[in-house]
Amino acid sequence: MSLEPFELTAAEATIAINKGKLNPFDLAHSCIERFELCERQVRAYSYFDKELFLGQVKSLGSVKSQLHGLPIAVKDMIDTVDMPTQYNSPIYKDHQPSKDAAIVSILKSLGGIISGKTDTHEFAAGGKLPATTNPHNKVHTAGGSSSGSAAAVAAGTAMLSIGTQTGGSVLRPASFCGIFGMKPTFGSVSREGAKFYSVSLDTIGWFGRSVSDLSLIAENARAVRKPTKLALTKKIKNFAICKLPKSNLASDCANNALEEAAKLLIKSGHKVEELSLPKTFENLYQTQLTIMKGEGRTSFLAEYLENFHLLADDFKNRVEDSNNISFESLRDAYDHAAECRKEFDNIASDFDGIVSIGAPGIAPESLDTTGDAVFQRMWSVLHVPAISLPGFFGEKGLPVGVQIVAPRFMDSNLLEAANQASMAFNCTKVLPILNRH
Amino acid sequence: MSLEPFELTAAEATIAINKGKLNPFDLAHSCIERFELCERQVRAYSYFDKELFLGQVKSLGSVKSQLHGLPIAVKDMIDTVDMPTQYNSPIYKDHQPSKDAAIVSILKSLGGIISGKTDTHEFAAGGKLPATTNPHNKVHTAGGSSSGSAAAVAAGTAMLSIGTQTGGSVLRPASFCGIFGMKPTFGSVSREGAKFYSVSLDTIGWFGRSVSDLSLIAENARAVRKPTKLALTKKIKNFAICKLPKSNLASDCANNALEEAAKLLIKSGHKVEELSLPKTFENLYQTQLTIMKGEGRTSFLAEYLENFHLLADDFKNRVEDSNNISFESLRDAYDHAAECRKEFDNIASDFDGIVSIGAPGIAPESLDTTGDAVFQRMWSVLHVPAISLPGFFGEKGLPVGVQIVAPRFMDSNLLEAANQASMAFNCTKVLPILNRH
């Protein structure tokens, strides 16, 4: 049975392109056909122009990297010089940046094709919801705020996609959409040209349909310093299973996924320990919220002053300090986060990967929410690299992921551990999906 | 003797405008005349358009803030929708952003007038030097990287100006140009739309000719939460005099300035203690360099890939890790900085202001350097608010400043302490200067 080009993973497509077995035009046309089939239901994109898409393929030069000819969807929080960038905000309706964001420029320089801009929660923060539906079931959210980027890869209209994470905006939609998602170590990829939300948390992240896909972006955007060595055979790794604070909010399927993950890792011969984090980590999700909201006070002031009537209450509240986040509590939150970062790196350095619940459960059955980031907040505020792995399912057969993290800057090791875990989970890649529910 | 409008401080001009004694048009024309007199020598601006300047005054609506009608120069690291933004880089020659940076949008919303864009060290980081000369003596640097912003205010072609500081790019030129400069607590003013250099250090800062001038920006850009209370009469404050690491690099005039500052504070009835910082602070300047250069690796990757031949070696070296900054040393630098931040805030909370050397000496006699940031690096990496105060002089009668800092988020208290110090130094404001040396 041969696959359509869009059904390949990005890493498979790269190999096929390099071997001359796949033409970037055929791949582009396959993604566009898939778009025509899916988009009315999935609504992943805020902007998609077939001609612009194909034009980029046409002007491809020599092969500069493994990204050559791969269609990559970009969250509409990230500036693009040839496509409108609207942040899902009426203030920026039809806004056309005059410069690509750093990550977009990097991808284009390396031969990546920007397939379109993807829908997001307004300013990746609140306000207006994304229109995107979950490709597994259209009455369920795809998660957020990188809703469209996750759905585009899950449905197969793009081979890879770029999102942003401040709380849980990459790993949560990856879990809900049953794909692979990665947030690298804070600061390891430039977020210049992405709209600001939280100056010390905002991170560029990405989605793919295999660990190798995630690695493609990590390597080429230089979040890692040398090519990762994703072994195709078993290498024994040390994993820790970590129960997260607030785990009373996890549904059975999320708990089951973590339990099953542990069993499968053991079954594959990996070392698995239970890890309890010190008491000071219990309030880290609150520390993340304090920093995010406290910094949001600053980030939305310009829109507040210039376009008050077009700004959603969420953002007015941030600017007006209605959460009562004092400078003192913000400073304390910074110090708490910094202490835990150092402590976590020490604890986690005994392991190749720390595995935890990926989300409270399957994607909520609603388009009026993008779900709860409670289980991502801690990893975001710790600045650690984090990957969401698929392969587990809950109610209605909908996916639920597990997260795997490592100490700061151990992105390369984490990718290797995630690759081993995906083999143990018997889910090294996922196929594009479109369920007509 | 009555002053020309440009000779007023921004705070004085505000009062005059509000009382109906000064018309924003007259102020603008006065600054433009001053520009015509000074600019050929000072070369503060990379872009100045008289008609655009006056057009903004013409379209001023009702009074929205104390910034109403004040000409403010903006460093060319910061995007402006109606003026080119070139970062002093050939890559961005004639680059025209399609959106104002947050700080520019905030200033405009409040009635501020953008007088023009000011020259900077390339990407505020290295490479091409600014053309700006020191208004006190044209064969001396004005400092950097916010060279033009400091010189514009010192010469009187703008009432206020905006810069950025990653190492010492606001406080050093303030010291060299004999004016007031402020870098607020990290993160307290959005730097969206300013070119990235170092994600965890870049900070928007500003210049004026009095502490009240600095306060105008701090209040209106909401770096402080309520109006500062700048007492016009003496209030007893607790000051510490702090000897900085690497003080062997300070010249006699810098040491004398600090000594004299201490004497003047005591003479004015303030409490003054000597403060020695713990040993762990000794290498903070190195920690700042590690973070700045380590993060610079990420920040210039897009230009490196897209415009290699137009990129200065400084930036190629950053991207290529020629400084050998490993991920491990970067992580250690983050942790060292975080520990010192907490410790410094504890130590400094006993004082209203910590006073230290402002720069190694007067502005170097050269346009091939912008001087050394060694005495600002520590305060930048500590994320604390810092103010440079003028009133002291060295060789050839050129100015040298002293720095005053406070714990994170104590910007309001710091402004009050700085105001008291400026009275003690008998230098509550400075007049614009243009020496025809």
**A301 interaction partners in chain B (CB closer than 8 Å):** 102, 106, 190, 221-222
Residue with tokens 């402004």: B415
Distance in Å from the first CA to the final CA of chain B: 26
Torsion sign across C-alpha atoms B319, B325, B328, B331: negative
Instruction: Please tell me the distance in Å from B298's CA to the nearest CA on chain A.
Output: 6
Nearest-Cα residue of chain A relative to residue B92:
A99
Instruction: Please tell me the distance in Å from A187's CA to the nearest CA on chain B.
Output: 7
Testing the interface with B: which of A298, A316, A332 to mutate, by most B Cβ within 10 A? Answer: A298
Report the distance separating Cα B157 and Cα B73, nearest Å: 8
Q: Write phi, then psi, for B64 (nearest 5 degrees).
A: -110, -20
Show the tokens assigned to A236: 């024994």
Angle ∠(A172,A176,A180) on CA atoms, nearest 5: 75
Is the pLDDT confidence value at B139 over 90? yes
Average pLDDT, chain B: 97
Angle ∠(A37,A43,A47) on CA atoms, nearest 5: 100
Show the tokens assigned to A228: 């990762």
CB atoms B110 and A305 under 8 Å = yes
B28-50 residue pLDDT tens: 999 999 999 999 999 999 999 99
User: What band does A2 get if pLDDT is binned at 50, 70 and 90?
Assistant: confident
Residue B410 has what pLDDT? 97
Report the distance separating Cα A97 and Cα A90, nearest Å: 15
Instruction: Please tell me the distance in Å from A189's CA to the nearest CA on chain B.
Output: 6
Report the distance separating Cα A227 and Cα B113, nearest Å: 50
What are the sequence ranges of the domains in chain A?
7-279+339-424
B1-29 residue pLDDT tens: 589 999 999 999 999 999 999 999 999 99
- CATH code: domain B5-279+339-424 is 3.90.1300.10
In A298-408, DSSP assigns E strands to 353-357, 386-393, 399-405
Instruction: Please tell me the distance in Å from B422's CA to the nearest CA on chain A.
Output: 26
Show the tokens assigned to A174: 């990856």
- Beta A353-357 vs A271-275: how paired, if at all? unpaired
Out of B99, B302, B342, the one facing A102 most closely (by C-beta) is: B302
SS3 call for A178 = coil
Q: Is A49 exposed, middle or buried (0-12, 13-18, 19+ CB in 10 A)?
A: middle
Report the distance separating Cα B389 and Cα B417, nearest Å: 11
Report the distance separating Cα A389 and Cα A89, nearest Å: 31
B383-435 residue pLDDT tens: 999 999 999 999 999 999 999 999 999 999 999 999 999 999 999 999 999 99
Instruction: Please tell me the distance in Å from A299's CA to the nearest CA on chain B.
Output: 5
Q: Is B271 a catalytic residue?
A: no
B169 vs A84, A280, B323, B374, B406, CA distance in Å? Answer: 34, 37, 21, 11, 18
Testing the interface with A: which of B301, B321, B341 to mutate, by most A Cβ within 10 A? Answer: B301
User: For residues A225 and B327, is the Cβ–Cβ distance under 8 A?
Assistant: yes
Is the pLDDT confidence value at B158 over 70? yes
**B297 interaction partners in chain A (CB closer than 8 Å):** 222
Is the pLDDT confidence value at A415 over 80? yes
Q: pLDDT exceeding 90 applies to what percent of chain B?
A: 96
Report the distance separating Cα B229 and Cα B234, nearest Å: 12
Residue B1 has what pLDDT? 58
Q: Report CA Rg, chain B.
A: 20
CB atoms B342 and A335 under 8 Å = yes
**A97 interaction partners in chain B (CB closer than 8 Å):** 98-99
The stretch B160-173 carries a mean pLDDT of 98
Virtual CA dihedral for B346, B349, B353, B359, nearest 10 degrees? 10
Out of B188, B196, B321, the one facing A298 most closely (by C-beta) is: B188
A57-110 residue pLDDT tens: 999 999 999 999 999 999 999 999 999 999 999 999 999 999 999 999 999 999
A143-199 residue pLDDT tens: 999 999 999 999 999 999 999 999 999 999 999 999 999 999 999 999 999 999 999
DSSP 8-state assignment for residue A59: T
B223-270 residue pLDDT tens: 998 888 898 888 999 999 999 999 899 999 999 999 999 999 999 999
A353 vs A183, A265, A373, A412, B392, CA distance in Å? Answer: 14, 11, 20, 11, 57
Residue with tokens 């983050």: B334
A321-350 burial, b at 16+ Cβ within 10 Å, e below that, comes to eeeebebeebbebbbbbbebbbebbebbee
**B298 interaction partners in chain A (CB closer than 8 Å):** 187-190, 222
Nearest-Cα residue of chain A relative to residue B292:
A187
Torsion sign across C-alpha atoms A192, B187, B417, B27: positive
User: For residues A168 and A373, is the Cβ–Cβ distance under 8 A?
Assistant: yes
* Active centre residues of A (catalytic): 75, 145, 169
Alpha helices in A325-364 (DSSP H): 327-348
Residue A227 has what pLDDT? 87
User: What band does A1 get if pLDDT is binned at 50, 70 and 90?
Assistant: low
Residue A185 has what pLDDT? 98
Q: Which of B389, B361, B371, B365 is nearest to B437 (CA)?
A: B365
B140 vs B41, B144, B251, B265, B431, CA distance in Å? Answer: 12, 12, 16, 30, 19
User: For residues A258 and A425, is the Cβ–Cβ distance under 8 A?
Assistant: no
**B97 interaction partners in chain A (CB closer than 8 Å):** 98-99
Peptide bond into A145 cis (omega under 30): yes
Residue with tokens 């959106």: B99
CB atoms A328 and B192 under 8 Å = no
Residue B297 has what pLDDT? 94
Q: Is the interface score ipTM higher than 0.90? A: yes
In A101-169, DSSP assigns E strands to 113-118, 133-134, 137-141, 160-165
Residue A74 has what pLDDT? 98
User: For residues A218 and A415, is the Cβ–Cβ distance under 8 A?
Assistant: yes
DSSP 8-state assignment for residue B243: P
The pTM score is 0.98
CB atoms B302 and A221 under 8 Å = no
Alpha helices in A247-325 (DSSP H): 252-267, 284-299, 301-306, 313-319
The stretch A18-41 carries a mean pLDDT of 97
Residue A436 has what pLDDT? 87
Is the pLDDT confidence value at B437 over 80? no
Residue with tokens 């040398």: A226
**B407 interaction partners in chain A (CB closer than 8 Å):** 331
Residue B27 has what pLDDT? 98
Nearest-Cα residue of chain B relative to residue A411:
B327
Q: Write phi, then psi, for B429 (nearest 5 degrees).
A: -155, 160
- CATH code: domain A7-279+339-424 is 3.90.1300.10
User: What band does A229 get if pLDDT is binned at 50, 70 and 90?
Assistant: confident
Residue A177 has what pLDDT? 98
Q: Which residue type, as a one-letter code, is found at position A176?
A: F
How far is C-alpha B176 from the chain's CA centre?
Answer: 11
Angle ∠(A427,A430,A435) on CA atoms, nearest 5: 130
